[in-house]
Amino acid sequence: MRAGQRDLLLGLLPRLTVALPPEGQALDPAALFDPRPRSVWLEIGFGAGEHTAAQAKANPQVGLIGCEVFANGLGGLLTLIEAEAIANIRIFPEDARRLLPCLPEASIDGAFLLFPDPWPKKRHARRRFIGPDNLAQLARILADGAPLRLASDHPVYVDWAIRHLAASPDFTLTRHPDRPVDWPPTRYESKARQAGAACAYLTALRRPRPKV
C-alpha cells in the first residue's frame, strides 16, 4: 500500500465509516448521509472501488454504502473519493454479513455483488456469498422492485447463483446478454476479460411483498 493510501485509511476512513448500532437496534442507512438521500444502494466486496465511485458520481442523489475487508481495496476507494471529491459514499470496512442484519426491512434500493470470490471447490461452497442465509437477508433489506446486480466470470459460481436465485420466492431473475450500459466495469472484470473469460451479468429484482 502507498503511503498516501495509509494516510487516507487513518484520516478519511474514520469519517466515512459506518458504525454498527448498539445490539438490538437498527441502523437508519439514509441518516448516514447529508443531505438525506431518497435512495440508498449497497455494494458488497467493492475491491478497488471503481464501480462504487462511478455509480456514486453518476447518481449524486443516491447514498452508496460500500463494504470491503481488503485494506488495499479500502485505500483504492478512498483515493478515488478524495481525488474526485465524492460526497455520497460511506464505507463499512468489515465483513458485509455483520452489516446486513442491522439494516431495516426494505431500506435498500439496490445492491451490487460484482465478481464475488467464487470458492469453486465443492467443499468450499458454503463460503460463497450467495446462499440461503445471505439471500434471505438481502431479500429482507431490499425494497420492493429493488435490483440485486450480480456478475461473475466463474461458470461454477454463475450456475450456483442462478440456481439459488431462481429457487428463491423473493426474486425474479434476468440474465443480460452483456453488461448493461449503466453498470460500470470493475477491475476484476477487466482482468477476467483480458484473460478471455466470459462474464455473466444478472439482475435479481426483489419481488413486491404481498399486501397485508
Ligand X SMILES: C[S@@+](CC[C@H](N)C(=O)[O-])C[C@H]1O[C@@H](n2cnc3c(N)ncnc32)[C@H](O)[C@@H]1O
Does residue 176 interact with ligand X by CB under 6 A? no
Give the whole-angstrom CA distance, residue 43 versus residue 91.
10
Cα–Cα distance for residue pair 69/81, rounded to 1 Å: 17
Q: Containing H/E element for 60? A: none
Set of cell numbers at residue 124: 468450499
How many CB atoms neighbour CB 111 within 10 A? 23
CA 89 – CA 66 distance, rounded (Å)? 7
Task: Determine if 90 is a binding residue for ligand X (CB under 6 A).
Answer: no
Helix (H, G, I), strand (E, B) or coil at 151: strand
> Of the listed pieces 42-50, 100-108, 160-168, 196-204, which binds ligand X according to CB under 6 A?
42-50
Cβ 104 to ligand X shortest distance, Å: 20
Cβ neighbours around 194 below 10 Å, total: 8
Any catalytic annotation for residue 117?
A: yes
Residue 115 binds ligand X (CB under 6 A)? yes
By C-beta, is 77 or 139 nearer to ligand X? 77
Cα gap 41→163, rounded to integer Å: 24
| Contact indicator for 46, 121 with CB cutoff of 8 Å | no
Q: Does 153 bind ligand X (CB under 6 A)?
A: no
- Which CB, 185 or 207, lies closer to ligand X? 185
- Kindly tell me which of 106 and 184 has the beta carbon lying closer to ligand X: 184
Q: Which of 75, 168, 189, 199 binds ligand X (CB under 6 A)?
A: 189
- Catalytic residue from among 117, 133, 144, 153: 117
The residue from 1, 69, 125, 167 that contacts ligand X (CB under 6 A) is 69
Kindly state whether residue 20 participates in binding ligand X, applying the rule CB under 6 A.
Answer: no
Q: Which amino acid is residue 158, in one-letter code? A: V
Q: Which of 117, 137, 140, 143 binds ligand X (CB under 6 A)?
A: 117
Q: Give contact residues for ligand X (rule: CB under 6 A).
A: 44-47, 67-70, 73, 95-97, 114-117, 129, 186-189
